[in-house]
Amino acid sequence: MVSLAARRCPGPQDILREKRHPAARFSDDSSQEPRPISASRAAGAAVARSTLDAAPATGADRGAVRRRRSPLQLIVQIVGELLITAGLVLLLFVAWELWWTNIDADIKQDQALEEFFSDVPVPPATAGPAPSAGSVPPVGEDFGEPAVLEQAALTGTFGVAYIPRFGEDYSRPITAGVGTEVLDNLGLGHYPGTAAPGQVGNIALAGHRQTHGQVLDQIHTLVPGDRIYLQTRDGYYTYVFRNTEIVLPDQVDVIAPVPTDPAAEPVDRILTLTSCNPRFGAQERIIAYSVMESWRPPEAGPPPEIAEQVARTAGRG
């Protein structure tokens, strides 16, 4: 074989020769016999033909071979799809917990209030604007010792709570029990065995903060002097807020007749509100204490500062 460096470049005489005898460049090989094919070339051609015959027929088939995944890749794909599905389920749960449970609970609480007021007459609202949440109401008549519901009457929805600090339209039913069937649906739950509204001792109520109606979501906004009003078929009871404290969930003595002192003999009429703390957690409990200031029998009508609110709640405003 001649290398590129050994080949002679054509000179002028060669070019003239080709112009005079152009046919000389081509020889008639028709008379020549075909050259025999060597054994090695024949074997190579056979291998090439067999390789072509065995190759995939189409480009799609070749792509399928290239896309074949290893077991590890399949595992990663499956795990990824499961994580995406779990994330979507979690988002749906959060939406249900923080949004739909509030809507559902509000509907059921409205039904409970409607049922309560079907048996409790409410005078029409008095004229005049309502004072602010922390203002002191005018001094009224002395109605003597408050009427108190018997423990046997503390069943179902037996009262309504009004807390102006939480909004001028805040009214929640008070229902016996603190199980999920009550707290998740019917507003404030009354701890069994604690006092009735107006009774000496401690009436203890529980409610959710961020779910199921957000009954006590704003409990941390109470300030000393705020009024909390409870209504039953026997009258209206006004409590004055004093203070809050944070305790662990197992500190149940906060609902004792004398909070945190179960052995003491009660002399005051106390209202205790309990809820989870912090707002989006349940590691602690926030406790709000109030002391009863006054009461009014049903025939005297609601306290003037909540008269319009009571009328609206009863559907007569």
Report, as residue numbers or ranges, the catalytic residues.
208, 276
Q: What sign results for the dihedral spanned by CA atoms 177, 182, 241, 119?
A: negative
Task: Provide the pLDDT for residue 24.
Answer: 47
Q: Is 228 exposed, middle or buried (0-12, 13-18, 19+ CB in 10 A)?
A: buried
pLDDT band with cut points at 50, 70 and 90 for residue 315: confident
Element (H, E) at 230: strand 227-232
What confidence category does residue 82 fall into, taking pLDDT thresholds of 50, 70 and 90?
A: confident
Domains delineated in the chain = 101-313 (2.40.260.10)
Q: Is the pLDDT of residue 220 over 50?
A: yes
pLDDT, tens digit (0-9, with 9 covering 90-100), for 180-193 = 999 999 999 999 99
Residue range 301-317: average pLDDT?
Answer: 87
pTM for this prediction: 0.69
Provide the token pair at 232. 């039953």
Span 262-282, average pLDDT: 96
Q: How many helices (H) and strands (E) does the chain have?
A: 7, 8
Q: Which of 104-113, 140-149, 276-285 has the lowest mean pLDDT?
A: 140-149
Q: For the residues 287-304, what does the mean pLDDT come to?
A: 96
Position 271 confidence tier, pLDDT thresholds 50, 70, 90: very high
**pLDDT surpassing 70 at residue 78:** yes
Q: What percent of the chain has pLDDT over 90?
A: 54
Q: Is 292 helix (H, G, I), strand (E, B) or coil?
A: strand
> Over 60: is that where the pLDDT of 66 sits?
no
Say if residues 311 and 296 touch (Cβ distance below 8 Å): no
- 221, amino acid identity: T
Q: Is residue 56 scored above 60 in pLDDT?
A: no
CA angle 39, 44, 47 (to 5 degrees): 125
